[in-house]
Amino acid sequence: MTKEERILAIENAMELVSEAQNLVDEAVRGTSDENNYRSYGKFGFDHLLGNGNPYDSSLDTLLDNLNSEDEEEGE
């Protein structure tokens, strides 16, 4: 897989994860599981999308790392 294909795959994954998060958010809204999901279950989505702890890596981190390889190669 080329670097460009990897970047595209990660970008596509980010869109899918975001869409999945929105679907789950809607599905649990108003249910007895909503508080538990917001406290614990949503963490995985937030982690992947970079909306959690700023010191944790995310899919954005993977993109940044792939893009920084281009800069390092150009030096």
Domain boundaries, the chain: 34-75
- What's the whole-number mean pLDDT along residues 6-26? 97
**Cα dihedral 21, 10, 47, 26 in deg (nearest 10):** 0
The residue among 75 and 55 whose pLDDT is bigger is 55
Q: Which residues of 45-69 are buried (b: 16+ CB within 10 A; e: fewer)?
A: bebbebeeeeeeebbeebbeeeeee
Q: Tokens representing 17?
A: 């994860």
Residues 50-72 pLDDT 10s: 988 888 899 999 999 998 986 66
pTM to 2 decimal places:
0.81
Residues 17-60 pLDDT 10s: 999 999 999 999 999 999 999 999 899 999 999 988 888 899 99
Q: How far apart are CA 46 and CA 21, in angstroms?
A: 9
DSSP state at residue 56: S
